[in-house]
C-alpha cells in the first residue's frame, strides 16, 4: 500500500512539470463531485481558467495541504491520456533528482 506522505513529497518534486500538464479544471471538477474539494476551492481554481499553470499550482497547493491526495490521484488517472501519464509519473520511483519547489 502506498504512503500518502511519500507521494505528496513526489508531487512537490514534480510540481513544475505537473503544473504545465494537468488539466486543473477537469481534475478539480471531478474532485468537487467526489466531495474532495469545497465550492470555494473549486471556484478559486476556476477563476484561473485563462491561466492554466496558475490553476494547476493552486490545485497542487490544495491537495498538498489536505487529506484529499488519494482522490486527486484517482481524478488524475481518470482524466485522459495525459492525466494517466502524470498519474504514473507520480507513482513511479523515478522521481529522484528533480528539484523540489518551495511555495
Give the domains, in start order, of the chain with CATH numbers: 4-91 (1.10.533.10)
Q: State the residue for C-alpha cell 492525466.
A: 83
Confidence grade of residue 15 (pLDDT, cut at 50, 70, 90): confident
CA distances from 17 to 12, 60, 83, 95, 99 (A): 10, 12, 12, 11, 11
Residues 6+ apart with CB under 8 A from 13: 95, 98, 99, 100, 101
Return the number of other C-beta atoms located less than 10 Å from residue 51's C-beta: 12
Q: CA angle at residue 81 from 79 to 86, to 5 degrees? A: 80
- Say yes or no to pLDDT of 66 above 70: no
Mean pLDDT value of segment 30-49? 95
List pLDDT tens digits, range 27-38.
999 999 999 999
Query: What values do phi and psi take at 31, rounded to 5?
Result: -65, -35
pLDDT value for 27: 93
Amino acid at each position: 500500500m502506498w504512503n500518502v506522505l511519500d507521494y505528496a513529497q513526489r508531487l512537490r518534486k514534480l510540481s513544475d512539470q505537473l503544473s504545465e500538464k494537468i488539466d486543473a479544471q477537469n481534475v478539480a471538477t471531478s474532485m468537487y463531485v467526489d466531495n474532495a474539494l469545497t465550492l470555494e476551492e473549486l471556484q478559486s481554481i476556476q477563476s484561473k481558467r485563462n491561466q492554466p499553470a496558475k490553476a494547476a499550482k493552486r490545485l497542487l497547493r490544495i491537495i498538498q495541504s489536505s487529506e484529499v491526495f488519494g482522490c486527486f490521484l484517482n481524478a488524475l488517472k481518470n482524466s485522459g491520456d495525459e492525466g494517466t501519464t502524470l498519474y504514473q509519473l507520480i507513482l513511479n520511483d523515478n522521481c529522484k533528482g528533480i528539484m523540489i519547489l518551495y511555495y
